[in-house]
């Protein structure tokens, strides 16, 4: 399935500890008043990792696009939406948005030399990551946490950054097993390809990915080694506990499968459950996010340690993004393998989980392997533009 939206017919934005409760209330109001013909229309939703931050994106938002293009199995659909009080002006607005979508965008075919991007020196940032990693291992050894996920960013600059659309196309081709996404605003775009589903709802069926444990071609450890297994099991246990407290018939695969991506492999188990009537997407997100895959375990202790050690995360990195529909179904991915484009600057994000026995140098190498996915997509996108 592919979706593309333009304009905002209705939106709810929130931040703080009650952000998911606020969006849940907004969703209930939307579902109660949504009138439509044909297939259930969809809204988008996204949120940052922490209850504060996320700029230039809002911390947490639910919105209905005015125009929504969809493609499923070669069949294309167009959904037009508006608030009831603006219905009289909606046709003209829809036409204007459609015209804008069909208009060629400047900068779509820039030449490679002009668009060449240069990485900013990262040595000090790498040393800081290693120092925080040693601090994380000390906290784990002292019993203050079982797992801590540390993140870092890498910045590029150039006279002209690549537009989001061709980068998104490149990610979709190179990472077909991932959920590729892009959200844009005035002067910025947030783009990525995530291998991890935070929450998928279809009727009463609930699906959540436990994705933890990573290997790559030059890794010193194997995917099935003790460190990766322990890291994976912490995520599985936390998700199973959260689902068991609020859902029925939780199904936990006995062993993980191997998810093979371009340049990376992960251990994954997809947990299934059945949600009771009245339990919506945001109520479940509030109970699941952040999983130990992106925060740590136990969650309260991990989040406290990360906050005190200034593990800040840009945009919606390790938050979530996806869609919800008028029937109450949803598909929300964890925002991983992603980057923020702001004018001439691109910031890429990656992280790694520390447990007892982790080697900070190997965890740094893991972040480099994860950053390579977006770096390769940026280069491929530039080359394809140059050849066009």
pLDDT, one tens digit per residue, over 271-311 is: 999 999 999 999 999 999 999 999 999 999 999 999 999 99
Say whether pLDDT at 102 is over 90.
Answer: no
Q: Say yes or no to pLDDT of 208 above 50.
A: yes
* Helix ranges (DSSP H) in the chain: 19-33, 90-102, 112-115, 123-141, 164-174, 226-246, 281-288, 299-308, 360-387
| DSSP per-residue string spanning 56-87 | TS-SEEEEE-SEEEEEETTEEEEEE---GGGG
pLDDT at 160: 55
DSSP state letter for 210: E
Residue 101 confidence class, pLDDT cut points 50, 70, 90: confident
Report the distance separating Cα 228 and Cα 237, nearest Å: 14
**Alpha carbons 316 and 149: distance in angstroms, whole number:** 16
Q: Which residues pair with 42 in a beta bridge?
A: 325
DSSP 266-309: EEEEEEEEEPPTT--HHHHHHHHSSPTTTSEESHHHHHHHHHHT
Q: What is the mean pLDDT of residues 187-212?
A: 97
Residue 174, pLDDT > 70, answer yes
* DSSP helix/strand/coil, 10: strand
Q: Domain count of the chain?
A: 1
**Residue 383 pLDDT grade (very low, low, confident, very high; cuts 50, 70, 90):** confident
Mean pLDDT of the chain: 92
* Cis ω for the linkage preceding 290 (within 30 of 0): yes
Q: What is the CATH number of the domain that holds 258?
A: 3.60.120.10
Is residue 265 pLDDT above 60, yes or no? Answer: yes
Please tell me the predicted confidence (pLDDT) of residue 112: 30
196 is catalytic: yes
Q: Indicate whether 106 pLDDT > 50.
A: no
pLDDT at 120 over 70: no
Lowest-pLDDT range of 51-60, 155-164, 316-325: 155-164
Mean pLDDT computed over 145-158:
92
Residue 145 has pLDDT above 80, yes or no: yes
Tokens of 54: 């996320």
In the predicted structure, residue 38 carries a pLDDT above the cut 90: no
Average of per-residue pLDDT across 235-241: 98
In the structure encoding, which two tokens stand for residue 34, read together?
């949504």
Opening angle at CA 342, ends 340 and 348, nearest 5 = 30
Summarize the confidence of residues 6-14 as an average pLDDT: 97
The predicted model gives 355-370 an average pLDDT of 96
Q: How far is CA 53 from CA 61, 285, 297, 313, in A?
A: 13, 18, 22, 8
Lowest mean pLDDT among 6-15, 150-159, 275-284, 308-317: 150-159
Q: Which domain holds residue 354?
A: 2-387
Q: For position 147, what pLDDT does the model report? A: 98
Interatomic CA distance for residues 77 and 99, integer angstroms: 17
Q: Which of 17, 52, 196, 370 is catalytic?
A: 196
363 catalytic per annotation = no
Contacts of 290 (CB under 8 A, 6+ apart): 49, 299, 303, 318
Catalytic residue among 147, 231, 363, 370: 147
């Amino acid at each position: 399935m592919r979706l593309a939206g333009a304009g905002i017919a209705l939106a709810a934005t929130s931040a703080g500890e009650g952000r998911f409760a606020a969006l849940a209330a907004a969703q209930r109001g939307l579902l109660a008043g949504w009138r439509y013909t044909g297939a259930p229309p969809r809204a988008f939703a996204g949120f940052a990792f922490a209850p504060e931050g996320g700029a230039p994106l809002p911390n947490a938002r639910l919105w209905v696009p005015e125009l929504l293009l969809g493609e499923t199995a070669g069949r294309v659909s167009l959904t037009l939406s508006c608030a009831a009080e603006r219905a009289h002006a909606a046709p003209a607005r829809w036409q204007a948005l459609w015209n804008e979508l069909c208009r060629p965008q400047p900068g779509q075919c820039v030449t490679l030399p002009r668009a060449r991007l240069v990485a900013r020196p990262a040595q000090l940032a790498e040393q800081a990551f290693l120092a925080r990693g040693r601090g994380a291992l000390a906290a784990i050894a002292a019993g203050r946490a079982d797992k801590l996920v540390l993140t870092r960013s890498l910045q590029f600059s150039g006279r002209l950054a690549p537009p989001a659309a061709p980068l998104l196309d490149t990610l979709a081709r190179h990472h077909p097993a991932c959920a590729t996404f892009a959200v844009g605003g005035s002067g910025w775009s947030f783009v990525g390809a995530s291998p991890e589903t935070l929450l998928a709802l279809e009727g009463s069926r609930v699906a959540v990915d436990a994705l933890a444990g990573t290997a790559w071609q030059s890794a010193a450890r194997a995917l099935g080694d003790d460190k990766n297994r322990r890291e994976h099991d912490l995520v599985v246990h936390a998700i199973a506990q959260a689902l068991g407290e609020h859902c029925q018939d939780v199904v936990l695969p006995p062993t993980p499968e191997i998810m093979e991506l371009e340049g990376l492999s992960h251990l994954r188990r997809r947990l299934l459950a059945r949600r009771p009537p009245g339990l919506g997407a945001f109520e479940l997100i509030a109970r699941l996010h952040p999983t130990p895959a992106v925060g740590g375990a136990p969650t309260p202790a991990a989040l406290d340690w990360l906050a005190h050690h200034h593990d800040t995360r840009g945009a919606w990195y390790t938050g979530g993004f996806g869609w919800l529909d008028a029937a109450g179904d949803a598909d929300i991915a964890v925002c991983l393998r992603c980057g923020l484009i702001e004018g001439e600057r691109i910031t890429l994000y990656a992280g790694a989980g520390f447990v007892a026995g982790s080697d900070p140098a190997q965890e740094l190498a893991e972040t480099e392997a994860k950053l390579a996915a977006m770096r390769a997509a940026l280069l491929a996108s530039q080359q394809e533009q140059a050849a066009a």
